[in-house]
Amino acid sequence: MIDLIAAPRLCLSILNSTPGIVLHSRMANLIFSSFLAGATALLVSCTHLSDDSMTATLSLAPEALVADSSRIGSALASSSPFKAVLREVTMAIANGATKDQANYVSLLENGEDALIARLHLIRQATRSIDFQTFIWANDEVGSLLARELISAARRGVKVKVLVDYVGIAKDAKALALVSKAHPNLEVRVYRPTARTLEYGQLGTLFYALTNFKGANQRMHNKVLVVDDTVGITGGRNVENSYFNHAVSMNFKDRDVLLVGPVAADMTHTFDDFWNYRHSMPANLLTDVANAKPEHRIESLATPIDRSLHRLSQRADQPSVVKAALVEPLRRVQSVQFISDLPGKNGAVLLTGGGRATAHILSVLDEAREQIWMQSPYLVLGKPGQRYFRKLRKSKPSLQIHVSTNSFGSTDNLIAYAGNVRLRDCYVHQLGFQIGEYRPLPSDLARVLPNYGWLANIAKSARERDTFMCIHAKSFQIDEELSFVGSFNLDPRSAHLNTESGLLIRDRDFANLLRQEIRRDLDSGNSWTIAGRTMSDSLIDLQMLTQEVTQHSPINVAPLDATSAFELKPGATSVPRNHPEFYQRYRDIGSFPGGDGILGERELKGRVLRFSTPIIDPLL
């Protein structure tokens, strides 16, 4: 009999002892509590229905859009370089553009530019700021943005901040300081699993026992909307690592900056989450209510903080804002903001999909020639595998390119182990062309210009060496269809976490996004995943074993039919199906970027590779 308690405990002990793990370590107590609850629920056959579905009307009639153009034109302070774009938006509306056609967008690829955008927009807000995020860390970036929001509230802007309970920093005094700073600033916490912010493990366990799916249903959306007119959405949370200022792991992430009427849809969706019955005012958490905070949020006086201070000054320089943020904006053919409903879906168990999942599948259905996908995690559950098998069968010539993390760059060993276990299916059955991102890509100077400075700090602090990790979540289909948002290629995004993003139809934008993903897949930036040089009979045996293993909580496949390959010095890169691929590339093993087969971290990864099937639905 499988020990349902020991298996997750082993996985989480490995996770918590591994340096460089950030995102999923925040969920360790929740996942372990959920497994305890899950075991109990299975034994007593007890289930709980999910939250009721909600509906929201996000469309505007043409006459309402014209009437609303004055509000758009009055957004932001008059000194902001964005005012020129706002005038273009109002002119487009006056000339008959519909809501989805009157928007200007750009990609935010660079972490520092992404932070400058947030700082500038917060400072230039005149009416409202809605800030929704999964993670808000109590580090230098978190403190900086908290101070900026307090300042905005004090000058009369209505500020609302919504953070998931799992991802918010567990510091009651810090949260009390922000939530009690000014009547114009409100903070709510999405789906608390305990009545306190700190030391809530027992409460989380009880919550998981009584509402297993509810404990695991988290808010993964990342949205910032200013004056209902300018919005940012994508993959970035609030933490140093998302803005090129972490000593060890820095995320290669992606947002979209949008100016136009679709930002109002982002506001409406934010309001749905804000008013959701499981979104609690932070001051109702017992320890936050009783906390006696300091008078203000002090800067941390660290080298990181001093660097952020200099970057912060650039957010007030019109020439910087114009060059980095305004000039890249382009009017696109059409834009749609898509989002799950609060609570995700009405399914009983850990399935059920959601609005975002349905939208993304419908977008993939449109593919005729090529799909480009980027996700930090690549763990397709059984429904995902069935979908891509069906897609491959109906469109055998379709090329599917996937950019994801390698063993050396991942922030989540458990998810990566799931990826390794499923690679054979991805390559031999689904026909994916996969590149796994290097922790130190060849274009490091471009994606992390301050690498040398951060590496010196890491060395002096005896931290893990500075490295890059993909966190961008994007899909690009054929010539004109793109999605950028918070959706990962894993079961948690498909069925549990609420997700959101922008669906954009425009050839120029699609070309820019495709170029970014292709660059990350270049041989100098990623290792190539391909089939090993094995006989067809051995590959067939491996695939049969994998099929059997899919129905077992333990992976018993004896070998891997795929591996990571590195381009040999002086060779020219070719696709994995090229006849000279194996002459030009060398096999570097299943865990590229690791510390060797006997290294501590790689040993953990290999153990997890055999034990992850039991927790696939929660990855």
- pLDDT attached to residue 199: 80
pLDDT above 90 for 552:
no
Amino acid at the residue 265: D
In the prediction, which pLDDT does 295 show? 65
Long-range contact list for 82-89, CB < 8 A, 24+ apart? Answer: 82/121, 82/124, 82/230, 82/259, 82/321, 82/325, 82/326, 84/326, 85/259, 85/326, 85/329, 86/229, 86/259, 88/331, 89/229, 89/259, 89/260, 89/261
d(CA 138, CA 169): 6
Overall residue count recorded for the chain in this entry: 619
Express each pLDDT in 268-312 by its tens digit: 999 999 999 999 999 999 999 999 877 677 777 799 999 999 999
For the domain bounded by 334-618, which CATH number is listed? 3.30.870.10
Evaluate whether 282 touches 177 at the Cβ level (below 8 Å): no
The yes-or-no answer to whether 105-200+217-331 and 334-618 have a common fold is yes
The answer to whether the CB of 322 falls within 8 A of the CB of 83 is no
Domain ranges of the chain: 105-200+217-331, 334-618
Q: What is the mean pLDDT of the chain?
A: 87
Q: How many Cβ atoms are within 10 Å of 407's Cβ, its own excluded?
A: 24
Cα gap 155→150, rounded to integer Å: 9
336-350 pLDDT, tens digit each? 999 999 999 888 788
Top-confidence range, 23-32, 50-59, 131-140, 199-208: 131-140
- 547 - beta bridge partners? none
- SS3 letters for 224-260? EEECCCEEEEECCCECHHHCCCCCCEEEECCEEEEEC
**How does residue 44 score in pLDDT terms, banded at 50, 70 and 90?**
very low
How far apart CA 122 and CA 145 sit, in angstroms, is 9
Q: What's the rounded mean pLDDT across residues 166-184?
A: 95
pLDDT value of residue 600? 84
Mean pLDDT for 595-613 is 78
Q: Is 552 exposed, middle or buried (0-12, 13-18, 19+ CB in 10 A)?
A: exposed
Q: For residue 210, which phi and psi values (nearest 5 degrees)?
A: -95, -20
Can you give the pLDDT at residue 388? 97
- CATH topology for 105-200+217-331 is Endonuclease; Chain A (3.30.870)
Amino acid at 301: A
- Note the pLDDT of residue 241: 98
DSSP 3-state of 342:
coil
Q: Are 187 and 215 in contact (CB under 8 A)?
A: no
